[in-house]
């Protein structure tokens, strides 16, 4: 099945080095899924936490659905992510031992199901960010020069 990307957390790729990626399902209510289909979701400051062998998504803003009236949801409520127990335990051990952070990377639809790609990441230092920007500029410059030839 092809995937239709709804939103990407570009800030996560800027602030973190991603080591592993996982695909998780998201538990959403009816009005939330309608808002996600309208791309009314923001992952900017969101993060994931493992509690009692379950993984939860915090600070993810899904705008209230316009026609939702009294059935609308709280925009920043905590949402459960669906992963296998084996994956959760593997992530939990890495978070505890190696100080990884779990960050949401993108939300997409696989068929009719909303999925989220999450990543095990470590925060970048300022010099790492500068390094990445310099490499990106060099690559862009090389591509620009190769076009002219």
Whole-model pTM over 0.85: no
Residues 55-87 pLDDT 10s: 999 998 888 888 777 777 777 889 999 999 999
Domain span at residue 25 reads 3-148
**Statement: residue 145 has pLDDT above 90:** no
pLDDT-derived band at 1, boundaries 50, 70, 90: low
Region 88-100 average pLDDT: 90
CA-angle at 146, arms to 141 and 148, nearest 5°: 105
CA-angle at 33, arms to 102 and 46, nearest 5°: 25
Cβ neighbours, 10 Å, residue 135: 10
CA dist 128 and 107 (Å) reads 26
**Number of structural domains found in the chain:** 1
Q: pLDDT at position 51, please?
A: 92
Query: Are the C-beta atoms of residues 102 and 48 closer than 8 Å to each other?
Result: yes
Residues 5-46 pLDDT 10s: 999 998 888 888 899 999 999 998 888 888 888 888 988 889
pLDDT-derived band at 50, boundaries 50, 70, 90: very high
CATH of the domain at 23: 2.40.280.10
Nearest residue to 44 via CA among 20, 73, 15: 15
């Amino acid at each position: 099945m092809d995937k239709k990307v709804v939103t990407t957390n570009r800030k996560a790729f800027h602030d973190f080095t991603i080591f592993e990626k996982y695909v998780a399902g998201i538990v959403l209510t009816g009005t939330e899924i309608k808002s996600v289909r309208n791309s009314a979701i923001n992952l900017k400051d969101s993060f994931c936490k493992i509690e009692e062998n379950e993984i939860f998504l915090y600070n993810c803003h899904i705008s209230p659905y316009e026609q939702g009236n009294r059935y609308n949801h709280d925009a920043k409520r905590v949402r459960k992510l669906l992963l296998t127990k084996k994956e959760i335990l593997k992530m939990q051990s890495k978070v505890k031992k190696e100080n990884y952070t779990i960050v949401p990377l993108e939300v997409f639809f696989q068929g009719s199901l909303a999925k989220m790609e999450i990543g095990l990441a470590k925060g970048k230092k300022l010099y790492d960010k500068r390094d990445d920007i310099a490499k990106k500029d060099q690559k862009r410059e090389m591509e620009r020069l190769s076009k002219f030839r």
